[in-house]
């Protein structure tokens, strides 16, 4: 299932999401944390950053995670000029017998929806 996150629904999900964004000169530094609530985090997690310049995707890359207890955190920086259409995408893959399945919970949001001005 794919769910677009925004400020009105981020707290109503089966996982707890925390998104912090801080402007630094022409860049915005993001910290996205995900924690188990009613849905368990699988061992097969994926997070990607898709950067768009208007309608053209200029890069898509996997993000490295940091884990503390039950919380997974992703940190990245992006130029302010790419915020409008760029997305953070997170997948909590289903698993069976220690292998990922093609199903799971997938979440995404536009970076502009969580960026704030200094």
Share of the chain above pLDDT 90, in %: 73
* Mean pLDDT of the chain, nearest integer: 91
Alpha carbon 4 to chain centroid, angstroms: 10
* Residue 18 structure tokens: 């925390």
Residue 118 has pLDDT above 60, yes or no: no
In contact, 113 and 71? CB cutoff 8 Å: no
For 2-113, CATH gives 2.60.40
pLDDT at 110: 96
Higher pLDDT, 117 or 57: 57
Task: Kindly list the domain boundaries of the chain, sorted by start residue.
Answer: 2-113
């Amino acid at each position: 299932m794919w769910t677009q996150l925004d400020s009105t629904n981020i707290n109503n999900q089966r996982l707890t999401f925390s998104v912090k964004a801080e402007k630094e000169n022409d860049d915005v530094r993001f910290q996205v944390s995900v924690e188990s609530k009613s849905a368990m985090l699988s061992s097969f997690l994926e997070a990607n950053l898709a950067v768009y310049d208007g309608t053209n995707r200029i890069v898509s890359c996997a993000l490295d995670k940091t884990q503390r207890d039950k919380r997974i955190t992703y940190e990245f920086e992006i130029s302010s000029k790419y915020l409008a259409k760029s997305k953070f995408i997170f997948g909590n893959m289903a698993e069976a017998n220690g292998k990922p399945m093609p199903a799971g919970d997938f979440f995404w949001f536009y970076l502009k929806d969580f960026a704030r001005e200094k």
